[in-house]
Structure 1
């Protein structure tokens, strides 16, 4: 007996298999459809954001991760988030808040997330600010730098303690020691917000000792306190109070220098206005920068207080050339200092407050005033006088012996200008390391105006006071230091200037 197959059951199985295949085929179609819908929704949202204002209100700002940092500090930095009234304003405020929190330098990372608000409050958003505090609150660095023009080395080190009180406070101590030149010990604290002040406040105590016996017959020691009152993106206001002593350890001071020796009180207020639109402070290829510094000394009512008015400016511009990352940087800087008070036309400015030109560091990186003139040694040009031997009291001979060395006394009016062409080198390994070459030309003038010297100054004498140099070199930037190898050719110098044509090296801070 033959067993018949059930055709109905067979058909049913086939139909079930067919249905399963249809379901398997329909699933990816539905998934692709959903993705297209989501993409269309997102594109529509982006088009709406770019074409019209999307209203949105911030319901709450939630702060996470601040175990030690006071929540009030973070709230103050992200205050702009609460006042946003649209999606566009909220995105912009979130970017600014992230940058401000990062600038405090007490967090390893900052993340600002935008989330939807409560379901019963449409058109609202919650902002989640999550910070990761620094695991190691203590940081430090040390470096050894050289200034060949002064034939000296310096050891510089600093130690920072971050957020000890939870107010974003940064405590630091620094030490700088230079062989036969400068030593400084200082400590200070910086607070991003102090009480109801919205600007950072800084305080610093320092002890400074400078020995310039290779260039002038005096040694300076100063102990002081400086307070940073206002510090914003463009404006900076600081007050300094210090007690300064000038001595002559060599006992070879000239008459002009000896009149300046003694104790005096330095009390001055300094205001700086700065605009820097360059794309880099070390190797700018486009943009401009302008700095103006005004300083008034002698605010403390004391007869030994140093009274002077000092004004400086510095203007830079970087022009890209369109090949090999080449750029032409040029700039002009100037400064003037005058005493004030009774008889200011016949008195002179205190020695440490005058202008001193020279140095081997690239003027591209020294923004702030007339300082660098390549090829000339530090304090190696300008008004100078021969040193005279101080007569020994036990010696009955009158007069004084002339010393072959000279005192470089600085000037009251300084002007410098430069042009620098930077370019990439052909080798790829050098370009990847940002090692580049440059060619430069610079000129500067330093003259004396006080003690009625301005009466003898004419246009011809002023143009004759300019010195100039030109050359080319190689710049090697690293994380530890910035090295420059330059060949300088002195185009114009005066009889007693300290200048040298040849190859010169310089190691400076990378910042």
Structure 2
């Protein structure tokens, strides 16, 4: 919100020519409230006409900050610094709008008002900027939700608690808890600072304890205690560092050879850089625009022999095309990723199991931006290279070995996915008002192994045959608490051991 209160009192004076002699002889008419309002309106109209036709020179004399009882004034000054360098009225209006948005983005104020006022009378062509903030009355916020994916027979309880601006530096402290039935549990706490010392970019730090039970898909459990630092965060660029100690165990004693070879402890130390452009009009139901994300990851920078070393590259490209009726739009997307170890003997070395690519899941790929993940109709980690589970010490030729028993899904080193999604409004007005809409989709994806010299056996024909495909239609119900999808998926192509299902499938996920 930007208010303008007579920034230049001299603009209208150029249009009036007073005769001093006549003023002395004739008595001035009394100034009424109506005439004053008319004069103010005329001066404002003259100012707007001048702004639209020419550049109006102006500089800021002072920036006055009000309402910051807890917040440090230096933080607000840093966010509105651009106001002090403007040289025209047009630049001032633009800078004031940007300053308002930057202060709102801190998420520590209930309201922000930027008012432009005229400068001191003895300094013509100047303006004062008044920045008035209303700090959040409730510094503690929290939420809780239960999300479920019936097709995977799993659910998760997620809750979070945030403390805002406790130190007055715009700091946000948060703690979160996520508990997933037979899948994932995570406890984490962190802090985010919009500015830290001389750095002009936000800085984040987070400590987490993660436990993942993948016994339904692969016979191992994963635990990781980690520290992540956000080093750079701008509109298009993010740079983060992660250090964690990870442990893989096999409580079932049924792991295949590829899983057993990686059980134990290892150190994960990596840098992650993300470049992102998102010009879509909505992240949940885009009807126009495009988005692109590229993620580069270098693992193993910590000098330790147990450090996991790999190079990982992902990209994701989206485009939404409006059709001009019933808010219908077609979304196209293609994503890919490759991971490879580095160091001595890297050609024969496998990539660490948890860091590989895994495809599947029943959440719409339209909402997931970042890399190859979703493939509707296939369960989470439900496709890709796999090996039969076996008892420790058994070999393929041992008596009693059953190759048709459960299998360990091992993920892949090269993943590619693509989709097309047609979204449209439904005929009933009550559904359109609630943004409940339908969609039809088609998906394809491939997951192959490259390490341990597997790339030597990969041909164009084998790679083409590695693609799985599905299609279907469904209903999407977005609410403030969750996003529900009811889809009918038809599996067009799958491999022998893939976990896929044709039929109606439900999904409840976070609304964001």
2:199 paired residue number = 197
| Structure 1 contact 177–183 (Cα < 8 Å) conserved | yes
Q: Is the 8 A contact 1:111 1:131 kept in 2?
A: yes
Determine the structure 2 residue equivalent to 1:470.
471
Instruction: Tell me the secondary structure at the aligned position of residue 347 of structure 2.
Output: coil
Residue 377 of structure 1 is matched in structure 2 by 379
Per mean C-alpha deviation after superposition, the further-off stretch among 402-411 and 461-470 is 402-411
Contact 1:391 1:400 survives alignment (8 Å)? no
**Residue 388 of structure 1 aligns to a residue in which SS?**
coil
CA distance in 2, matches of 1:464, 1:442: 15
Name the SS for the 1:365 alignment partner: coil
Q: Which residue of structure 2 aligns with residue 113 of structure 1? A: 115
Do 1:356 and 1:379's aligned partners in 2 also have CA atoms closer than 8 Å? Answer: yes
Deviation readout 1:394-438 (Å, 9 max, x if unpaired): xxx966622610110000000000000111111111111111111
Aligned to 1:506: 507
Name the counterpart of 2:402: 402
SS of 1:352's partner is helix
Distance (whole Å) between structure 2 residues aligned to residue 44 and residue 423 of structure 1: 47
**Counterpart in 2 of 1:4?**
none
**Deviation, structure 1 residue 507:** 0.4
Tell me the equivalent position of 1:436.
437
User: Which of 73, 92, 103 lines up with 1:71 in the alignment?
Assistant: 73
1:461 counterpart = 2:462 = yes
- Say which SS state the counterpart of residue 427 (structure 2) adopts: coil
Q: How far apart are the structure 2 equivalents of 1:52 and 1:150?
A: 64
Mapped to 2, the partners of 1:261 and 1:291 lie a distance apart of 33
The SS at the match of 1:100 is helix
* Equivalence for 2:452: 451
- In the TM superposition, 1:65-464 aligns within 5 A as 65-391=67-393, 401-402=401-402, 404-464=405-465
Distance 1:351 1:276, change over 3 A: same
Which digits, 9 at most, give the CA deviation of each residue in 1:142-197, with x for residues without a partner? 00001233210100000000000000000000000011000000000000000000
Alignment CA distance shift 1:171-1:400 (3 Å): farther
CA distance in 2 between partners of 1:62 and 1:36 (Å): 30
Structure number with greater Rg is: 1
Q: Deviation of residue 42 (structure 1)?
A: 2.8
Residue by residue over 1:432-452, the C-alpha shift from the partner in whole angstroms, topping out at 9 and shown as x without a partner, is 111111111010000000000
Match of 1:12 in 2: none
Q: CA deviation at 1:27?
A: 10
Task: State the Cα deviation string for residues 107-138 of structure 1 (Å, max 9, x = none).
Answer: 00001000111111111100000000000100
Please give the secondary structure, in 1, of the residue aligned with 2:359. coil
Residues 339, 348 of structure 1: 8 Å contact kept: yes
1:413–1:449 contact (8 Å) kept in structure 2: yes
Partner of 1:22: none
1:306-327 deviation line (CA, Å, top 9, x unaligned): 0000000000001111111111
Q: Equivalents in 1 of 2:151, 2:84: separation in Å?
A: 55
Contact 1:209 1:220 in 2 (8 A): yes
1:390 Cα deviation after fit: 1.9
CA RMSD of aligned residues (A): 1.7
**Paired residues of 1:390 and 1:400 also in contact (CA < 8 A):** no
Give the whole-Å Cα distance in 2 for the aligned partners of 1:101 and 1:44.
32
Partner of 1:482: 483
When normalised by structure 2's length, the TM-score is 0.92
CA contact (8 A) 1:391 1:399 kept: no
What SS is found at the alignment partner of 2:363? coil
8 Å CA contact 1:267–1:299 kept in 2: the answer is yes
Give me the whole-angstrom Cα distance separating, in 2, the residues matched to 1:222 and 1:502.
36
SS of match in other structure, 1:345: helix
User: What is the Cα deviation at residue 219 of structure 1?
Assistant: 0.5
- Other structure's SS at 2:366 match: helix
Equivalences, count? 481
| Aligned partner of residue 91 in structure 1, secondary structure | helix
TM superposition shift of 1:40? 4.2
- Farther-moved stretch of structure 1 (337-346 vs 34-43): 34-43
Residues 400 and 65 of structure 1, relative CA distance in 2, 3 Å threshold: farther
Question: Structure 1 residues 400, 76: closer, same or farther in 2, change over 3 A?
Answer: farther
Q: Distance in 1 between matches of 2:301 and 2:380?
A: 30
Q: Per-residue deviation at 1:217?
A: 1.0
Note the alpha carbon deviations across 1:374-407, whole angstroms, 9 max, x for none.
0000000000111112249xxxx96662261011
- Tell me, what secondary structure is at the counterpart of 1:80? helix
Q: How far is 1:33 from its partner?
A: 7.0
Deviating 4+ runs (over 4 angstroms): 30-40, 397-400
Q: Is the 8 A contact 1:149 1:378 kept in 2?
A: no
Q: CA deviation at 1:49?
A: 1.0
The normalised TM-score by structure 1 is: 0.92
Cα deviation, residue 39, structure 1: 4.2
C-alpha change, 1:195 and 1:399, in structure 2 (3 Å) is farther
For 2:297 and 2:400, locate their aligned partners in 1 and report how far apart those are by CA, in whole Å.
39
Deviation at 1:478, TM superposition (A): 0.5
| Residues 226/443 of structure 1: CA separation in 2 closer, same or farther (3 Å cut) | same
Deviations 1:263-292 (A, max 9, x none): 000000000000000011001111100000
Which deviates more from structure 2 when the two are superposed, residues 37-46 or residues 298-307? 37-46
Offset, 1:50: 1.8
